[in-house]
Structure 1
């Protein structure tokens, strides 16, 4: 089922929620690609695999490298997945798409669990003050 978000609703999402939506969209495109390959609808499969590939690249571009080694490892996984998708699209190999789907599923599950467990211990007022400071210090 495709869920359409308005621009306003999208702007209200946190970066973490947007990442979760990207994972979900990628997952859905991979599932549709498998279905299209099985049905020998290769043009449609190509479109879904390209969309999934674009999402993987966007996820890679959004990595926060301040997270350390985890960010580097995630970048390697995204790169591997992107390479598999190119190969899968070229050969229309369902097994390669399934491998990407399995990797994505694990990352997506971990991400969603981390979002559920995330407790913000810094009060909102302190964040606003820090934000104000950062914004003014940049231009001084």
Structure 2
């Protein structure tokens, strides 16, 4: 008659995540994408090390999807110029490396991409308190807001 307890827990977690997404600033959404990709890569490493090929494949695919459909898609190449172009190339590199890791069950490649994503996330977090990142109008911008 009722679903399993785990189904309820999953539904609650999904609602919590969706609420976080709706309430998040654009900056926070990017951090959430980095975090999601990093969690997927940790799960992929566990899958490689435990021999769970299905878990590995699903997790690497999820990380690639987050990188390509989330992080790369969020780039504004016109406004971002060379920095956005460089990030686009880096994200493309990461996705290609993860495909290789998936085909070869190579944890060192997954770890390489983890390091790259962690460095980018840390840099992104370092700018978290700047006015441009928070989206909060500043006094000198109030007239145009």
Q: Normalising to structure 1: TM-score of the pair? A: 0.81
Tell me which stretches of 4 or more aligned residues in structure 1 moved more than 2 Å: 2-9, 119-128
1:107 maps to which of 114, 120, 127: 120
2:76 corresponds to: 64
1:38 maps to which of 33, 49, 55: 49
Q: Check 1:115–1:94 CA distance in 2 against 1; reply closer, same or farther (3 A cut).
A: same
Unmatched segments (≥5 aa) in structure 2: 1-9
- Answer yes or no: is 1:12 the counterpart of 2:16: no
1:71-86 maps to which residues of 2 (within 5 A)? 71-86=84-99
Q: Aligned with 1:115: secondary structure?
A: coil
Q: Check 1:7–1:31 CA distance in 2 against 1; reply closer, same or farther (3 A cut).
A: closer
Q: Check 1:6–1:97 CA distance in 2 against 1; reply closer, same or farther (3 A cut).
A: closer
1:122 corresponds to: 138
Q: CA RMSD in A?
A: 2.0
Distance in 2 (alpha carbons) for counterparts of 1:36 and 1:70: 34
1:52 corresponds to: 63
Distance in 2 (alpha carbons) for counterparts of 1:87 and 1:7: 32
1:94 corresponds to: 107
Q: Aligned with 1:68: secondary structure?
A: helix
Unmatched segments (≥5 aa) in structure 1: 129-140
Instruction: Write out per-residue CA displacement over residues 100-126 of structure 1, whole angstroms, 9 at most, x where no aligned residue.
Output: 11111110110111113x135634744
Instruction: Write out per-residue CA displacement over residues 21-79 of structure 1, whole angstroms, 9 at most, x where no aligned residue.
Output: 01001001101111110000011110100000000002101102212111111001000
